[in-house]
């Protein structure tokens, strides 16, 4: 595709990742995207391709920023792990040890590890909330602290799609004194020289590429396959508005509305599970810094990283909110059939619509992918899979 705007760097030996970018556009799957790969602490791929809109009037460029939904959770998990390493938090202690109000309604024994691995039974709120209250930190965290768990903590796990961020972020605030957005700026983004915002400064809003809805090949006229039909029907069955999954994603109907995530007030708020604004290079750099020094900074020791990546949920246990088994570490989603990344040992987080970032320590491979065209999925985006597979092949060939 000679007409595809493509900029950035791709060092020798990593051309398969660049080829995968071209392939995704040739298939009609992309509008604009960024992909970055660190290998053994070095940035080997940093590519930007396509356009910021469907009319192809403006190129996706180096200053583009992108909302990445739940890919934000991996950044929040890193911030929590840094607090643990500094002795401010402990995965083993009860949440209420650091946040006394959390102990209400039988939650006093829920550990930090259970909270971070989606076992606390707090995947939604029980009453309708107005947007202004959801975006107000003290209001939403007090609501969660005052809830009774929706299952006996530790007996099940289910994806806390939105609530995870406020729960984890309040832990950071309680022990460090800073809000999660400020912590990320001062302890992760600033030292690494990257851009990750949870609570976007208004002055940077013009750089955020708007999200575009779209599923599959835009020009495809092929009828829906039986497999695709079954998948769609399962999604509708398990992610409907009255299901645990639907309630988790919508805060029981409070978090809904067309264009919600493109709103200025939503971008400026702190929603540490869902409204991170960043780029692919920054995500890959952060994950690489969990293993190597990046710009002179390593975020976690190897022992702390291993503790943060330790899987907490039982193998093959069905996720109460999502379809099928999922695997959670200390806020990160671990490698599984649901989120394969680059294979066993990988840990990171995907986001709604396709974005994903992770580290696979065995290959010393860190990866980040962002895009503006949303696929209708939480995980399993084929564009990301093509890029991740290409990156793993390149790492293995060196």
**Active-site residues: which are they?**
70
- For residues 330 and 80, the answer to whether their CB atoms sit within 8 Å is yes
* Listed residue (197, 97, 184, 96) closest to 144, CA to CA: 96
Residue 78 to residue 76: CA distance in whole angstroms:
5
Sign of the CA dihedral with 144 first, then 145, 149, and 154 last: positive
Query: Kind of pairing, strands 32-39 and 6-10?
Result: unpaired
* Beta strand 6-10 pairing with 66-67: unpaired
Q: What six digits make up the tokens of 97? A: 């040890």
| Cα–Cα distances in angstroms (integers) from residue 382 to residues 28, 42, 170, 378, in the given order | 12, 26, 34, 12
Q: Are 122 and 110 in contact (CB under 8 A)?
A: no
């Amino acid at each position: 595709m000679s007409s595809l705007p493509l900029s950035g760097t791709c060092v020798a030996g990593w051309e398969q990742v660049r080829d995968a970018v071209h392939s995704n556009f040739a298939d009609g799957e992309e509008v604009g995207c960024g992909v970055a790969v660190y290998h053994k602490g070095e940035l080997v791929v940093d590519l930007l391709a396509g356009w910021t809109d469907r009319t192809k009037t403006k190129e996706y460029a180096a200053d583009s920023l992108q909302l990445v939904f739940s890919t934000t959770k991996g950044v929040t998990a890193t911030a929590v792990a840094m607090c643990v390493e500094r002795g401010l938090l402990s995965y083993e202690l009860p949440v209420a040890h650091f946040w006394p109000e959390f102990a209400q309604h039988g939650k006093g024994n829920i550990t930090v590890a259970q909270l971070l691995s989606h076992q606390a039974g707090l995947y939604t709120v029980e009453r309708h909330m107005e947007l202004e209250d959801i975006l107000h930190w003290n209001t939403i965290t007090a609501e969660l602290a005052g809830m009774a768990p929706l299952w006996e903590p530790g007996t099940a796990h289910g994806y806390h799609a939105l609530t995870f961020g406020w729960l984890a972020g309040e832990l950071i605030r309680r022990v460090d004194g800073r809000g999660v957005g400020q912590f990320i700026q001062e302890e992760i983004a600033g030292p690494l020289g990257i851009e990750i915002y949870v609570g976007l400064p208004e002055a940077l809003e013009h750089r955020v590429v708007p999200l575009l809805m779209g599923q599959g090949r835009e020009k495809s006229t092929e009828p829906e396959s039986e497999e695709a039909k079954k998948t769609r029907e399962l999604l509708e069955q398990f992610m409907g508005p009255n299901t645990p999954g639907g309630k988790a994603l919508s805060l029981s109907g409070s978090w809904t509305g067309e264009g919600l995530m493109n709103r200025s007030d939503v971008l400026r708020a702190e929603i540490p599970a869902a409204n991170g604004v960043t780029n692919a290079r920054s995500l890959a750099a952060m994950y690489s810094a969990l293993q190597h020094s990046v710009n002179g900074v390593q975020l976690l020791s190897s022992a702390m990283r291993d503790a943060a990546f330790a899987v907490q949920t039982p193998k093959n246990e069905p996720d109460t909110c999502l379809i099928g088994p999922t695997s959670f570490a200390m806020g990160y989603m671990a490698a599984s059939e649901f989120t394969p990344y680059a294979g066993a040992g990988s840990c990171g987080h995907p986001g709604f619509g396709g974005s994903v970032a992770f580290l696979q320590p065995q290959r010393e491979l860190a990866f980040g992918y962002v895009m503006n065209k949303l696929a209708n999925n939480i995980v399993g985006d084929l564009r990301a899979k093509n890029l991740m597979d290409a990156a793993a092949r390149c790492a293995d060939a060196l």
